[in-house]
Amino acid sequence: MRPLFHPSIDDVTVEGILHALSDPVRASIYARLAGLDCAATCTALQQAGDRTIPKSSLSQHFRVLREAGLVRSERAGVEMHNTTRCAEIEQRFPGLIPAILSAHRVQAAGAPSPRSRVRRTATSAAKKKAKGS
């Protein structure tokens, strides 16, 4: 079996982290993993909201998270045990991961994004203008 690639913490970049967490499924997986006190198997994190992620997709998501330096994966028989590298990343980029996880919690709670508020305001202004015409 091929060994798993885990970048050195010195090779982890902000761009790599942001890219890995730009996918909503990966952001959800990472946020759930970061909330655990212990390692979790891939299948334990297979549920994303109201849908189940196929195992092949889940493997790909964990590979992206691993190669970005966000998680450490270890094989245990046929399972992969995953842990976050939050402490290491916190030393390299203080405050980055807590800020991202906080923003993810706000978004998951259903708070409207600033972009959607701008769209609604622009739409409302266009409707008022159309009525006034």
Report yes or no on 1 lying in a domain. Answer: no
Report yes or no on 4 lying in a domain. Answer: no
Burial letters 86-120, b for 16+ CB under 10 A, else e: bebbeebeeeebeebbeebeeeeeeeeeeeeeeee
Q: What is the pTM of this model?
A: 0.76
Report yes or no on 128 lying in a domain. Answer: yes
- pLDDT bin (cut points 50, 70, 90) of residue 123 is low
Q: What is the pLDDT of residues 2-31, one digit of tens each?
A: 888 999 999 999 999 999 999 999 999 999
Report yes or no on 3 lying in a domain. Answer: no
Let me know: does 47 contact 29? Beta carbons within 8 Å: no
Report yes or no on 71 lying in a domain. Answer: yes
Residue 47's beta-bridge partner residues? 52
Expressed as residue numbers, the domain containing 106 is 9-132
Taking the CB of residue 7, how many other CB atoms lie within 10 A of it?
Answer: 15
Locate the DSSP E strands across the chain. 40-41, 47-48, 51-52, 71-76, 79-84
Q: What is the pLDDT of residues 60-113, one digit of tens each?
A: 999 999 999 999 999 888 888 999 999 999 999 999 999 999 999 999 888 565
Report yes or no on 107 lying in a domain. Answer: yes
Q: What is the pLDDT of residues 25-71, one digit of tens each?
A: 999 999 999 988 778 877 778 777 678 888 889 999 999 999 999 99
Three-state SS sequence of 100-131: HHHHHHHHHCCCCCHHHHHHHHHHHHHHHHHH
pLDDT at 62: 93
Rounded CA separation 26/60 (Å): 10
Report the domain count for the chain.
1
Residue 50: CATH number of its domain: 1.10.10.10
Report yes or no on 15 lying in a domain. Answer: yes
Report yes or no on 47 lying in a domain. Answer: yes
